[in-house]
């Protein structure tokens, strides 16, 4: 659905003759029906990438295709067949919510504008406010109205640039739930966000990006690659000798003590946890409970970004 090969973008710098490299040799594929999270710090080039893929700005070099249309050759077709939510959506403040959507429905040649407007205002909880000026809306309501605008023409590919930025928890939750509904409809969603917990919950795969792509995979696969699988055995008392005894088991990759907890790295905890439990009980340990240590997406993200900063310095 989205294919990118060596996509790059440079801008003229503040000093004459200098250039700023915003995106460097980006290559990736996003499958149909996938929610792909594009994560990176401010100034990483995420929004620039979205603008290139939506044919709003031209790449300096490289190729990209969206929904079978090539960037730079089929730009009008791309703009007509994708939906985009920018971080700061421009709405006509003096027009009502309904009138805002009618304008864009007509621009997109939506077959039944009235029905499309009613549907999406209703889905996003704005139908009762349809006659109110967009300028009177809260930030959360404006964001929902902008999402409705992006969906009016039923695009199969949707670009969401920081869709919950600055929203209160209730509005952010509604937007996340709506993204989940869209995913269930089989739409392809390219999502940029600073909310790593949100990306972890919503995205099939994530790309960690800072002018160049540093990693791309499912959150679970990135966790396994960086940390393996780690199980925590909470004990009433921890004898240091038990650590060595567990570490000697053939399926255990590493064992270490933290307070009264034994942390064990191993493959397939489902198969090997019973072996460790039997060994601990035989040694006289009182096992209170067992749980898997799950590193957050924030841990993964910061590890890549900080490693990149160290490598550059």
Is the pLDDT at 82 greater than 60? The verdict is yes
Question: Is residue 313 in a domain?
Answer: no
Residues 210 and 254 in one domain: no
Residues 178 and 213 in one domain: yes
Question: Is residue 298 in a domain?
Answer: no
Is the pLDDT at 9 greater than 80? The verdict is yes
Residues 127 and 239 in one domain: no
Question: Is residue 304 in a domain?
Answer: no
Residues 6 and 110 in one domain: yes
The Cα–Cα gap between 6 and 4 comes to 7
Is the pLDDT at 308 greater than 70? The verdict is no
pLDDT tens per residue, range 51-72: 999 999 999 999 999 999 999 9
Is the pLDDT at 42 greater than 90? The verdict is no
Question: Is residue 305 in a domain?
Answer: no
Q: What is the domain extent for residue 78?
A: 2-217
Question: Is residue 311 in a domain?
Answer: no
Is the pLDDT at 3 greater than 90? The verdict is yes
Residues 117 and 152 in one domain: yes
Domain boundary among 164, 189, 217: 217
Residues 86 and 113 in one domain: yes
The Cα–Cα gap between 47 and 114 comes to 32
Residues 137 and 234 in one domain: no
Q: How far is CA 295 from CA 67, 74, 129, in A?
A: 35, 42, 42
Residues 209 and 243 in one domain: no
Residues 45 and 166 in one domain: yes
Query: What number of helices (H) and strands (E) belong to the chain?
Result: 11, 14
CATH number of the CATH domain containing 129 = 3.40.50.300
Residues 207 and 122 in one domain: yes
CATH number of the CATH domain containing 233 = 3.30.70.100
- In the prediction, which pLDDT does 13 show? 79
Domain boundary among 217, 249, 275: 217
Question: Is residue 123 in a domain?
Answer: yes
- In the prediction, which pLDDT does 183 show? 87
- In the prediction, which pLDDT does 96 show? 96
Residues 41 and 173 in one domain: yes
Domain boundary among 198, 217, 236: 217
Q: How far is CA 154 from CA 97, 115, 149, 184, 198, in A?
A: 18, 12, 10, 14, 24
Question: Is residue 10 in a domain?
Answer: yes
Is the pLDDT at 237 greater than 80? The verdict is yes
pLDDT tens per residue, range 109-151: 999 999 999 999 998 889 999 999 999 998 888 888 999 999 9
Residues 177 and 231 in one domain: no
Helix/strand/coil for 270: helix
Q: Do residues 40 and 22 touch, judged by C-beta distance below 8 A?
A: no
pLDDT band at 168 (very low <50, low <70, confident <90, very high): confident
Per the structure, how many domains does the chain have? Answer: 2
Question: Is residue 40 in a domain?
Answer: yes
pLDDT band at 48 (very low <50, low <70, confident <90, very high): very high
14, two tokens: 């503040």
- In the prediction, which pLDDT does 66 show? 96
């Amino acid at each position: 659905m989205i294919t990118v090969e060596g996509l790059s973008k440079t801008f003229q710098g503040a000093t004459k003759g200098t250039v700023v490299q915003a995106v460097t040799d980006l290559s990736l594929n996003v499958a149909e029906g996938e929610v792909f999270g594009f994560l990176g710090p401010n100034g990483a080039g995420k929004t620039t990438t979205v603008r290139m893929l939506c044919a709003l700005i031209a790449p300096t070099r490289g190729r990209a295709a969206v929904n079978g249309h090539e960037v730079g050759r089929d730009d009008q077709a791309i703009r007509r067949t994708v939906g985009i939510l920018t971080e700061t959506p421009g709405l006509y403040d003096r027009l009502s919510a309904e009138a805002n959507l009618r304008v864009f429905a007509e621009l997109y040649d939506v077959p039944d504008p009235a029905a499309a407007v009613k549907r999406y205002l209703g889905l996003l909880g704005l139908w009762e406010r349809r006659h109110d000026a967009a300028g009177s809306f809260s930030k959360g309501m404006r964001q929902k109205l902008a999402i409705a605008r992006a969906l009016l023409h039923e695009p199969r590919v949707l670009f969401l640039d920081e869709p919950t930025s600055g929203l209160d928890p209730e509005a952010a939750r509604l937007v996340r739930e709506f993204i989940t509904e869209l995913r269930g409809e089989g739409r392809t969603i390219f999502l940029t966000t600073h909310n790593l917990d949100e990306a972890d919950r919503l995205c099939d795969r994530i790309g960690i990006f800072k002018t160049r792509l540093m990693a791309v995979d499912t959150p679970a696969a990135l966790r396994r690659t960086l940390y393996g699988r780690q199980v925590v055995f909470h004990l009433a008392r921890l004898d240091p000798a038990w650590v060595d005894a567990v570490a000697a088991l053939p399926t255990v990759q590493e064992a270490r003590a933290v307070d009264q907890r034994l942390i064990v790295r191993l493959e397939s905890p489902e198969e090997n946890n019973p072996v460790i439990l039997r060994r601990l009980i035989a040694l006289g340990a009182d096992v209170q409970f067992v749980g898997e240590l799950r590193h957050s997406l924030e841990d993964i993200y910061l590890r890549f970004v900080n490693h990149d900063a160290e490598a550059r310095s």
